[in-house]
Amino acid sequence: MRYIVVTGGVMSGLGKGITAASVGRLLMKRGYRVTSIKIDPYINVDAGLMSPFQHGEVFVLKDGGEVDLDLGNYERFLDVELTRDHNITTGQVYKTVIEKERRGEYLGKTVQIIPHITDEIKMRIRSVARNSGCEICLIEVGGTVGDIEGMPFLEAMRQLRNEEMGNIAFVHVTLAPMTTDGEQKTKPTQHSVKEMRSLGIQPDVVVVRCATPLRDETKSKISHFCDVPVEAVVSCHDVDDVYKVPLMMEEQNLPTYLMKMLRLYPLEESTRWEELVARMDAVKGRVKIAIVGKYTTASQSTAPMEDAYLSIREALKHAGIEAGAWPEISWIDAEELERMAPEKILGDVDGVLVPGGFGERGTEGKMRAIRYAREHGVPYLGICFGMQLAVVEFARNVVGLEGAGSTEFGDLPHPVIAILPEQEGVVDMGATMRLGNYDAELREGSLAHRIYGAISIVERHRHRYEVNPDYVKMIEEKGMIFSGWNKNRMEIAEIPAHPFFFSSQFHPEMRSRPGRPSPPFLAFVEAMKERKAGEKA
């Protein structure tokens, strides 16, 4: 087993996750089985209750684990399916150690950070690496060197280095800011590496985030002051798409350096990723899509607003590459649609997407967007809450059920969305939440059947409320059909008479991959492309 540990310095948000995922992609290209672990030093047990405004989207894994969005990047770059064990948090580690102490497993010893916390961290890492069947395990240590909450994890990494001598490499991600006259400053990187060395960890590779490629003299200076070879100083300058980061690292021979250090030899050579990027650059067509959500206003967020819907953005990209039409996203605040006429905001778009979300804020605006798409023949894709609101909108304005809505927001005369009275088959994760992979049966001849090319599918879920079965017949009689189901739970709602109206209770974006786009997203982009071509004709 080989380990590659990725740490970060200077500031947060430099791209440790993309760096780790890119390194993994390059090693997979050479024939190695790779897995990844994300360490989050926050005290939360998982990311399930974190606000998207603060931390970006909550990514859901196949076993229902609610985790940091970086694990979504790992799944997309490495084309793997991870589990909740691949995300280690301070909350998990301390909770487990305290429970062991209460059961007497430490035999009356004084429980301390060293060795008990650090041993628990190392045990979890080794267990994941072993159970995944991989040959190389990537470990991203979240946060920034010097953060007090990250100290136990960095100490565990220092111990792991001594225990795995020769089979472990450390990659440190830093920043080289540029002055107004164009000088690349190395002092932040020097201090960051100095901080790492004070903890007993000497980085083997320094990846430097910068606006423009590192100059030779800058690389030489970092090499000299940080005690790494020049070839181990890697420029990670700005690119127009993160899928180009592995190619940038390839050009600087980073995988060759790491493999030499870890005594590895290429087993094969794949050009799949290069071909994907070439196809992406070759896309000429454009379609305009409105994403109507409640986490789209940058002024309310400490994270980039796109991070709240990162998997949706990436799934649209995957579909756009395949369909030959690049989705140009217009981020629409749902509350804005409650104040303005929909045609003023949505009049020039080729498609409307309403994503998932919790809470009542913005629901009326989302339904106005849905109604506009339904009545004007605009391709519509609804995800999770976007399906529930599509059903509510249809029940109100087509079926004629005044006061139709969801019991999430109180008692209503027509609860078309509700928590079902029985919960058989629902694993107890997040109380009544359905989390992770569930299967669905599709109606033959439906749009869903045509999109997937199958009558049985598996997709990931993250929701609590369901379509109320008592209203299904009434709704279907008026033209909206439920073409996918899991027992008595409705999974897909579509309108056959509409050019493209598809909504799912599950999150298809979670399983979308570069080169293997999610079927609903691909069909959605193709429908937008067809609509745009028809307008031009």
CATH number at residue 509: 3.40.50.880
pLDDT, tens digit, 9 for 90 and up, residues 188-230:
999 999 999 999 999 999 999 999 999 999 999 999 999 999 9
Average pLDDT over residues 324-345: 92
225 and 290 belong to one structural domain: no
Of the candidates 259, 275, 291, which is a domain's last residue? 275
Per-residue confidence (pLDDT) for residue 305, from 0 to 100 = 60
Domain co-membership, 221 together with 287: no
The answer to whether residues 20 and 138 belong to one domain is yes
Q: Are residues 265 and 308 in the same domain?
A: no
Domain boundary among 229, 255, 275: 275
The CATH number assigned to the domain holding 66 equals 3.40.50.300
Which of the following is catalytic: 226, 461, 507, 526? 507
pLDDT higher than threshold 60 for residue 424: no
Average pLDDT of span 133-154? 95
Residue from 359, 390, 423 nearest 498 by CA: 390
pLDDT of 126 reads 97
The catalytically annotated residue of 120, 140, 509, 526 is 509
Question: Does residue 270 sit in the same domain as residue 287?
Answer: no
Answer whether residue 421 shows pLDDT above 90: no
> Does residue 429 register a pLDDT over 50?
no
* Full domain range(s) for residue 115: 2-275
Distance CA 281, CA 19 (A): 21
432 falls in which pLDDT band (50, 70, 90)? Answer: low
How far apart, in whole angstroms, are the C-alpha atoms of residue 324 and residue 318? 10
pLDDT at res. 425: 44
Of 275, 301, 322, which residue constitutes the final position of a domain?
275
Catalytic member of 384, 393, 466, 526: 384
Same domain, 199 and 287: no
pLDDT of residue 47: 85
Confidence band of 302 (pLDDT split at 50, 70, 90): very low
The percentage of the chain sitting over the pLDDT mark of 70, rounded to a whole number, equals: 96
- The answer to whether 509 is a known catalytic residue is yes
User: According to the model, what pLDDT value does residue 529 have?
Assistant: 95
Q: What is the pLDDT at residue 93?
A: 97
List, in order, residues 6 or more apart from 329 with CB less than 8 Å away: 289, 291, 313, 316
Mean predicted confidence (pLDDT) in 372-392: 96
Give the integer Cα–Cα distance in Å for 94 and 44.
10
Query: What pLDDT does residue 408 have?
Result: 85
> Is the pLDDT at 430 greater than 70, yes or no?
no
Instruction: Please state, rounded to an integer, the average pLDDT across all residues of the chain.
Output: 92
369 and 224 assigned to the same domain? no
Q: How high is the pLDDT of residue 537? A: 59
User: Mean of the pLDDT values across residues 110-124?
Assistant: 96
pLDDT classification of 297: cutoffs 50, 70, 90: low
| Most confident of the following: 296-305, 342-351, 528-537 | 342-351
- Which stretches does DSSP call E strand in 268-386? 285-293, 325-333, 351-354, 380-383
346 plus 409 within the same structural domain: yes
pLDDT of residue 426: 42
Is 384 noted as a catalytic residue in this protein?
A: yes
**Average pLDDT score over residue span 504-523:** 97
Query: Angle at Cα 78 formed by Cα 454 and Cα 64, nearest 5°?
Result: 60
Confidence grade of residue 307 (pLDDT, cut at 50, 70, 90): confident
| pLDDT at residue 64 tops 70 | yes
pLDDT at 360: 77
**Two structure tokens written together for 423:** 């919960």
The residues pairing with 291 across neighbouring beta strands, listed in sequence order, are: 331, 353
250 classed as catalytic: no
